[in-house]
Amino acid sequence: MIKQKTKKVVINNCYGGFGLSEKAIEEYYKKKKMKWVDKSSYNTYFTIPKEEYDKISKECYAKDGDYRNVNGKGYCLISDSDIPRDDPVLIEIVEKMGKKANGMCADLEIVEIPEDVNFEIDEYDGMESIHEVHRSWG
C-alpha cells in the first residue's frame, strides 16, 4: 500500500480564537529574519516605527479612504492571523513550544491533511476545522 504524503496545518481547537503567545510571535519573527518594532494591539505588531506607520497610514487614507492599504507599502503591520497556517516555521514553533505557543484564547493543534488538498479553515466562535475548497454558488 502506498502511503499518501501529508502536510501539517495549525488550527485552533477551542472556542475563543486563533492566536499565538508573544513568545511564539517573537520566535516566528526571529526565525523568519523579520523585525518587529512595537506592539500595536493584541497580537498585532508594527514592523516599522509607529510614527512612520502613522504617516503612511494617513497617506493611504487620504488617497483611497482605506488606511489598511498601508501594508501594500511594505508590510508595516502584521498580525499572527497573517501567518499561513501551513507555514513550516509556524508548525515548527507550535511543535516545539506546545501549549506555550497558545495565545490568550487559543488551544493550537496540528492537523495532518493530504499534501495535494487545497484547504480552507472554517471557524465558528473561534473553534476551527479544515475543509477542502470546493465550488459553491448563491
Domain residue ranges of the chain, discontinuous segments joined by +: 1-20+83-138, 22-82
C-alpha distances in angstroms, 24 versus 21, 104, 106? 5, 12, 12
Residue-level pLDDT at 34: 73
Strand ranges in 6-107 using DSSP code E only, listed in sequence order: 6-12, 38-41, 44-46, 77-79
Question: What is the DSSP code (8-state) at residue 102?
Answer: B
Q: Which residues of the chain have pLDDT under 70?
A: 35-46, 48, 65-78
pLDDT of residue 10: 98
pLDDT of residue 64: 72
pLDDT digits (tens, 9 = 90+) for 73-106: 556 666 787 789 999 999 999 999 999 999 989 9
pLDDT of 72 reads 61
Q: How far apart are CA 101 and CA 31, in angstroms?
A: 15
Count of CA atoms in the C-beta half-sphere (13 A) of 124: 2
